[in-house]
Structure 1
Amino acid sequence: MTPEVRQAQALVVRQTINRLEETYSDFIQGKGFDRIPEFFREHLYSPPNKDQRDAALENLYEKLKSVTGPEMTENIHNLIVLIQLTDALDLQTAQVVLEGPMKGKSADEIAEASMTTQELNRCIGLAGCWEDRHRQVDMIGNTLTFFFTLSKLPLIKLVMAPIRVAASLVGAGELVDTMETGYQISRNIKDMKPFVDAFKEREKVQLDRLQKEYS
């Protein structure tokens, strides 16, 4: 990946988070939900040590089959797939950004640049991948529901202990950090369902509008 592509992808992430903060400002003002943008920014879209973590994800899935139940293993695998899908979609959009609003700019210039939501939406529209984008929305909703369920388990630390050990063996500790942040945020949320329902509805309306406009 060239420096320009990397910075364009980071720009897509920044503007996506800004757009999410605007779209869900009615929820973000509520207790617990104020940390949702932080979770998206630091763990789903642009986590620390991203390359190292992604390289270990599939190894972790194989290791988990022997230490957790099938439902937990499947939920963690869905999180792995979501992370990889999100990265792929952001990369597709970044390629369009480099042919559009950031065309001819250096990596340093892109790092300092910004885009409007309208420009981001146009790049998403031109990038397409509609089926994957709809799947991403569903998977984000399911992952948030999974974290909320984890946060209500009385012995969550005991549940997470073997998962953390397995993750450390394959160098995927970042994924466990993502899970722990997810359920820690969820602890302060009384009911995740209204947010998940609104997220799925609003995002799919937006995708349908863009697909109709750019297809």
Structure 2
Amino acid sequence: MSLILDNIIQHLHHANELHEHTQKAQLIQPLRELQHWQTKRLLATHQDLWQSKRFRPAMGFFIDELYGPQDFSQRDQELARVVPKMAKIIPKQALESLEAALRLNSLSLALDIALTENLASGPVTRKSYALAYVQCDNQEQREEQIVLLERLGVDLADVVKIKGISTLLMLSRKPAKMAGVESLHKFLESGFKSFKKLGNVDEFIQPIITRERALKNALFAQQVPNPLPEFEA
């Protein structure tokens, strides 16, 4: 358990360092623009899942809580304050899911910053994105991002099966608000609700993993034509 908490603290420190870097390097606005573009790209690539009543909540969670153009610094600050107490109130499986989510979040942020720094000036396009993606030369980290996404999906599917987890989250809503960790609680509850009625998680996760890995490989291979989907940015 202590290793999980140590990893959570490490991911939070890394995320904080990345937030400070974006501020000092004046990358906040171009980073948000990139993340907004990437959200549209994800929806275009996985439009069938987004249109599915069964899969939309889980897709929404991944986009809103992990990939979207949002500032997660408040949630991370809240987490840093309560990490020592978390092991006493949160099941180990839930902590493992949180650790995977935070690792994915910090890694994705680092990859986004690298992309932002390599992008040509002006609006993000399929061409400029593909060029910057290759210039980052971080194929191993991109593969790790995909592996973490798969792990998180499986972990969350296991968490919703924990006996009493729904009641625990409901009863802890008010205490979380009073303790100043409301955004953290919303994050945990959102993940639970989005996966609660998902059913067989592989039917949701595997299409995403397969498509994202194929797209990553095609981009690094500099395939022609451009493998990125066309969509209205």
TM-score bucket of the superposed structures, by smaller chain:
0.7 to 0.9
Please give the alpha-carbon distance, in whole angstroms, between the structure 2 residues aligned to 1:167 and 1:127: 40
Deviations 1:60-115 (CA, angstroms, capped at 9, x unpaired): 43332233343332222222222211212111111112xx133xxxxxxxxxxx42
* Structural mapping, 1:28-39, within 5 Å: 28-39=50-61
Query: Could you say what the CA RMSD is over the residues aligned between the two structures, in angstroms?
Result: 3.0
Evaluate the alpha carbon distance shift between residue 156 and residue 33 of structure 1 in structure 2; reply closer, same or farther with a 3 A threshold.
same
- Report the equivalent of 2:36: 14
Residues 123-132 or 85-94, more deviating: 123-132
- Report the equivalent of 2:166: 157
Deviations 1:164-212 (CA, angstroms, capped at 9, x unpaired): 6896687543232122112222234333212211111111122222223
Please give the alpha-carbon distance, in whole angstroms, between the structure 2 residues aligned to 1:2 and 1:37: 32
Deviations 1:117-137 (CA, angstroms, capped at 9, x unpaired): 333232222223222221111
Please give the alpha-carbon distance, in whole angstroms, between the structure 2 residues aligned to 1:81 and 1:168: 25
- Report the equivalent of 2:15: none
Say whether residues 1:195 and 2:204 are aligned partners: yes
SS at match of 1:128: coil
Considering Cα pairs closer than 8 Å and 6+ residues apart, tell me whether 1 or 2 has the greater RCO: 1
Please give the alpha-carbon distance, in whole angstroms, between the structure 2 residues aligned to 1:138 and 1:176: 25
Residues 14-23 or 44-53, more deviating: 44-53
Please give the alpha-carbon distance, in whole angstroms, between the structure 1 residues aligned to 2:68 and 2:95: 23
- Report the equivalent of 2:94: 72
1:101 to 117, 121, 128: 121
Deviation at 1:8, TM superposition (A): 1.1
If the length of structure 1 is used for normalisation, what is the TM-score? Answer: 0.77
2:85 to 63, 71, 79: 63
* Structural mapping, 1:86-97, within 5 Å: 86-97=108-119
Identity %: 20
Please give the alpha-carbon distance, in whole angstroms, between the structure 1 residues aligned to 2:94 and 2:175: 14
- Report the equivalent of 2:134: 125
- Report the equivalent of 2:3: none
Please give the alpha-carbon distance, in whole angstroms, between the structure 2 residues aligned to 1:137 and 1:166: 35
- Report the equivalent of 2:218: 209
Evaluate the alpha carbon distance shift between residue 42 and residue 209 of structure 1 in structure 2; reply closer, same or farther with a 3 A threshold.
same
Structure 2 alignment gaps of length 5 or more:
1-22, 224-233
Evaluate the alpha carbon distance shift between residue 210 and residue 51 of structure 1 in structure 2; reply closer, same or farther with a 3 A threshold.
same
